Structure 1
C-alpha cells in the first residue's frame, strides 16, 4: 500500500467510525452493564475513537515506511531526472568565429539534430542542427538552420528588432525556473541571435518578467547566410556561466529553440516555434521549466 492509498483509507475509516462506531460502542456498553453510557458519547468519540485512529494511523504509516525501506529497488524520481540531456564535450581545436561553422573542430562535436520539432504543430520541422563544446575557458555553440525564406531586418533599431525575425535561441538556468530557492525565485537568462549575428539578450524572473537592459558578459556571436538558410556561431566564457550560478557541478539547465518566421499577407509574419524539448503546454511557450533540458559539461 502506498502512502497516498493509506491516507485515503484512514480518512474513510475515520468517517465510518464517527458515523457508526461511537453509537455502537455506547449501546454495547449499556447492554452489558459496562461503565459507559450513551450519554458519554462525547467521551467515547473524543477519547476512544481518537486514540484508535491515532494508533491505526501510526501503524499504517509505519507499514508504508517499512514497505519503502524493504523495497530499495523502488525508484524515487526527482524533477531533474528524466530530462533530455546533451553532452558538451571538451575540445582543443582552434576556432575563429565567423558564423560559417566550417572549422575542423565542429566535425568532431556531437549534435542535437533530429530532436528538433514543432511542439504545437503536427508537421515536420525544417532541419536544425545544434552543437556545443568547451575548451576549458569558453563554451562554443553553433546552429545550422535550413530555411527557405530567411527573415532578417535590414536596419537594426534596437534589440526588439529580433522579435520580427528568424532566430535561434538559448535559455540558461541554474535551477527550476518556476520554483523558489532559498532567496526566492532565481532569474534565468536568454540569448536570441538573428541570421546576421545580432543579439537580443535578457534576464527573466518567472513568469515572463523580462529585463531587456541586461547583457551576457563576454558573449560573442557571428552569423552567415548559406545556400539553404543560415548558420550561427557563438561563445560564452565559462566564468560568466559560473558567476551567474548557471553552470553547477558540470551541469546547466538549457533550452534550445528556434523561431521560424515566414512572410504572410498580413502585417505580422507567420510565426512557428521549434524546440529541442517538448514543453507540453497548450499554447507556444518556452518560458516554463518543462522547456529545458540539461547540458552536461564533460571534463
Structure 2
C-alpha cells in the first residue's frame, strides 16, 4: 500500500482559512503524483498536504484548474456529485464494512456519507458537526480546500490503528464535451488497477502515517 507521512505540529498553531498559504503548511510533505489510469491525458497538477496535532488532522488540496465546473442548481447530493471536487475516504480495514466518505466541491459544499461494500451508501449519516471544518478559495488558476477533522471523531469511528489511518485521496474533474454535457475524469493517489473507474474498492486506499514530533 502507498504511504504518506503526516508530520506533527504544535497544538492550536493552525487555523484553516481555505487559502492554503499559512506557513505551517510548509512543514507538510507535498504529494503530487496523482494519476488517472483510465484517461490518456495526464491530469492537471494537484498538491495534497496533511499535518496533525493532538486535536485535529488537517488536509489541504491545491488543485490547479482554470476551468472549474460547479453545478449550482441546488445543494443536493446530485449537484455536488456533478461538480469538480476533492475526496477523502477512510476505512477501518479492507472489508470496507463500513467506510466513510467526504466529497467536497470548491464552494465548498460537503457530501459526507457512510458506505458499505458494493456502493451501498447511507446519505443519512454525516460527520459529527463539531468535528469537521471545511473552507475553500477559488482563484483564476486553482482552487484550494482546507479540512480539519478532529482526532476524537477519527478514534470514535475506529479509523486510527496505532499511528496509521487507511485513506483514499481523490479528485473528480468534470470536462465539457461537444454536446455541452460534462463528463468526469477520475483521479487518484494510487493506481487502482481496475478496468473502469471505481474508488469504492479496497485497492483505492493507502496509509497515512501519523508521525510524532
Shorter chain as denominator, the TM-score bin is over 0.9
Tell me what 2:185 maps to: 272
Residues in 1 aligned to 2:64 and 2:78: alpha-carbon distance in whole angstroms: 24
Check if 1:219 corresponds to 2:137: no
Q: Which has the higher strand share?
A: 2
Pairing of 1:21-170 with structure 2 (within 5 A): 83-92=1-10, 94-113=13-32, 115-170=33-88
Check whether the contact 1:166–1:195 (CA below 8 A) recurs between aligned residues.
yes
Normalising by structure 1, we get a TM-score of: 0.67
Residues in 1 aligned to 2:115 and 2:156: alpha-carbon distance in whole angstroms: 17
Normalising by structure 2, we get a TM-score of: 0.93
Would you identify which runs of 4 or more consecutive aligned residues in structure 1 move more than 6 Å?
Answer: none
Shift of 1:122: 2.5
Residues in 2 aligned to 1:280 and 1:174: alpha-carbon distance in whole angstroms: 21
Tell me what 1:196 maps to: 107
Check whether the contact 1:177–1:288 (CA below 8 A) recurs between aligned residues.
no
Tell me what 1:27 maps to: none
Residues in 1 aligned to 2:178 and 2:80: alpha-carbon distance in whole angstroms: 20
Tell me what 1:244 maps to: 157
- State the superposition RMSD in angstroms: 1.4
Instruction: Specify every segment of 5 or more residues in structure 1 that has no aligned partner in the other structure, as ranges.
Output: 1-82, 179-185
The structure whose Rg is larger is: 1
Instruction: Specify every segment of 5 or more residues in structure 2 that has no aligned partner in the other structure, as ranges.
Output: none
Residues in 1 aligned to 2:76 and 2:195: alpha-carbon distance in whole angstroms: 31
**SS of alignment partner, residue 139 of structure 1:** strand
**SS of alignment partner, residue 67 of structure 2:** coil
Tell me what 1:234 maps to: 147
Q: Which has the higher helix share?
A: 1
Closer/same/farther in 2, CA of residues 267 and 214 from structure 1, 3 Å limit: farther
**SS of alignment partner, residue 127 of structure 2:** coil
Check whether the contact 1:151–1:261 (CA below 8 A) recurs between aligned residues.
yes
Aligned residues: 209
Residues in 2 aligned to 1:193 and 1:157: alpha-carbon distance in whole angstroms: 12
Shift of 1:153: 3.0
Residues in 2 aligned to 1:296 and 1:102: alpha-carbon distance in whole angstroms: 23
Shift of 1:155: 4.5
**SS of alignment partner, residue 160 of structure 2:** coil
